Structure 1
Amino acid sequence: MVFELPPSASRAEVLRVRAGELRPAVTDWLAEEVPIAFEVNGLSHAIMLASPIDLEDYALGFALTEGLIDRVDDLLDIEVEPAEIGITLQLRVTLRCFMRMKERRRVLAGRTGCGLCGKDSLKEAVQAPKPLISSTGLDGSENLYLSKAALQKAQTELLARQSLQRQTGAVHAAAWCDGEGAVQWVREDVGRHNALDKVIGARASGLAEDEVSTAGFMLITSRASFEMVHKAVTARVPVLAAMSAPTALAVRMADQAGLTLLGFVRSGDMVVYTHAHRIDTGCEHHGAGKDSTWT
């Protein structure tokens, strides 16, 4: 039997109460979330819940940020296979990446307990990725100096391009923006991590190998958790701007990795948590140092 991809949203008849008054039944839209199974060279890897859209971008972004591949060329093929109760993403990667993944699975299987127990496992779980600035020089991220106007422009454009959010009110979004605040790619998903993976995948597949991929910033509608910072740094993103708050662990990782982390980015306001040298706040006391926190 051949199955089609499910829609990103479905109709539902609902009752609404407004100002204490029951209104007549109306048609509303609900965001779909679907089990997505990742298989790498035929080997089951993970199952996620996600919106069933932009799945090729999701596969590439997930593979990059989870360390399944090192670069775009390591992902040789993607097949999207809808089934009755979900979708399987069949990823075919290079032999080098596949053997590394199998070795890591073998090591985890040999440990006692859940596989994340013990000092070595915990250290691996919160280990910061490679810093944005290499010891041999700049990687492009120091060429960025963002203004408040650029951040506000990006937020306005992102909100205007959240079509699934307007329809359902139930999804997150992530956008890659250039240094002037123009939105280049937007992706939406019921999961904030999925939305970020999708836009990372879209950005990676849309860039030539010789382009400076760090000359811009990522804007997300959610909070900035440890995982979101980890994914951003892994994808060589110099600035992560969140419309909500970060966690303490996210701030520590951002500082260690050289990522500029912003929170509460709303209508020109922001809180700068780490590496403020990439942000023109328009304030007199700008330049207080990378460890300063400004509002």
Structure 2
Amino acid sequence: MPPADPLDWARPAPDAFASGQAAAPGRRSDGQLAAELLVEEAPVTLVFNDEVALTLMATPLDAEALALGFCLSEGLVERPDEILDLQALPAGAGLSVLIQLPEPRLQTLRARRRFGAAPGGCGLCGIEDQRTLLALPTRALAPLQLAEGAIERALAALPGRQALNARTGGAHAAAWASPQGDLLELAEDVSRHCALDKLIGRLAQRPFDPASGFALLTSRASFELVHKAARVGLPCLVTMSAPTALALRAAQATGLQLFAFARPGRWTRYHP
């Protein structure tokens, strides 16, 4: 008999690629059986020009938006129309996204030594040189004038838009809101980095002015999230948990407005 496929244990059920979730029986502390839904996590491999590959651990929904957002937020392309082709296909225990870049853009990727796996969707994993890793975007970010109560309105609307998290309790959300606090777009993923990339990818699929609103994340503000936001020209980032000190320094250096500890009725503004 042929040997068993070593990836069999990790492969999601076919419907997980459409739903982002998997059913799992469990037993609660009171002894009662429970049928729970768990957020799905799978390898999503980005294959550039059939040559260079990077694997993100992500929820296998909206993989093409994830790949597009990743290319933009990591500076692999400046505009969506620079990507010649992009297609997501089942592969192994997850998905492969086949991406065709112009040769000069591929050289940029090679120079950054991006190979291998990125745990939790971490975009900076795989970059070896500190100067490359910490290089900040040079574009100027114009200040965003938020209406009074905008953050509170966005926070109030957020739970009703988090469909995957409502079912599983395990998904981060990245949302785009107007300066008045109206939620205009939302993406969910087990990884906060991938949630932001999916949001960027979705927004980039239509005419979109990055200076016209703010991003709201259900996570902490890490350096990479500030880096991604500034790279694509988002002027303002609001997170529900704490910022890191490096994230604050990056916000100060790029001019990005940074709010954290956002909860109904309170938040902390760190910059400017």
Q: Do the structures match in fold with TM over 0.5?
A: yes
The two structures have a TM-score, normalised by structure 2, of: 0.85
The amino acid of 1:247's aligned partner reads T
Q: Where in structure 2 are the equivalents of 1:80-95 lying within 5 Å?
A: 80-95=88-103
Equivalent residue number for residue 248 of structure 2? 251
Equivalent residue number for residue 259 of structure 2? 262
CA distance in 2, matches of 1:25, 1:122: 50
Equivalent residue number for residue 185 of structure 1? 185
Greater C-alpha radius of gyration? 1
Equivalent residue number for residue 130 of structure 1? 138
1:132/1:238 contact within 8 Å kept: no
Q: 1:213: how far off? A: 2.7
Q: 1:155: how far off? A: 1.1
The amino acid of 2:270's aligned partner reads Y
Which secondary structure does the structure 1 equivalent of 2:136 belong to?
A: coil
Question: Which of the numbers 35, 54, 64 marks the counterpart of 2:43?
Answer: 35
The two structures have a TM-score, normalised by structure 1, of: 0.79
2:69/2:197 contact within 8 Å kept: yes
Which secondary structure does the structure 2 equivalent of 1:196 belong to?
A: helix
The amino acid of 2:264's aligned partner reads S
Q: Where in structure 2 are the equivalents of 1:9-158 lying within 5 Å?
A: 9-17=21-29, 22-105=30-113, 116=128, 121-133=129-141, 141-142=142-143, 144-158=144-158
CA distance in 2, matches of 1:156, 1:75: 36
Equivalent residue number for residue 271 of structure 1? 268
CA distance in 1, matches of 2:83, 2:157: 31
CA distance in 2, matches of 1:261, 1:92: 34
Count of residues in Structure 1 that have an aligned counterpart in Structure 2: 247
CA distance in 2, matches of 1:127, 1:63: 16
CA distance in 1, matches of 2:187, 2:65: 9
CA distance in 1, matches of 2:47, 2:162: 30
Q: 1:215: how far off? A: 1.1
CA distance in 2, matches of 1:149, 1:240: 15
2:154/2:181 contact within 8 Å kept: yes
CA distance in 2, matches of 1:231, 1:192: 12
The amino acid of 2:193's aligned partner reads H
1:132/1:259 contact within 8 Å kept: no
Q: Where in structure 2 are the equivalents of 1:282-293 lying within 5 Å?
A: none
Q: 1:94: how far off? A: 2.1
Q: 1:124: how far off? A: 1.8
Q: Structure 2: 5+ residue runs without aligned partners?
A: 1-12, 115-125
1:175/1:186 contact within 8 Å kept: yes
CA distance in 1, matches of 2:256, 2:155: 19
Q: 1:104: how far off? A: 4.3
Equivalent residue number for residue 213 of structure 2? 216
Q: What is the CA RMSD across the aligned residues, in angstroms?
A: 1.9
Equivalent residue number for residue 164 of structure 1? 164
2:112/2:132 contact within 8 Å kept: no
Cα deviation, 1:17-66, whole Å, max 9, x if unaligned, reads 1xxxx232121101110001110111133111000111111010001111
Q: Structure 1: 5+ residue runs without aligned partners?
A: 107-113, 134-140, 276-295
Q: How much identity, in percent, do the aligned residues show?
A: 37
The amino acid of 2:218's aligned partner reads T
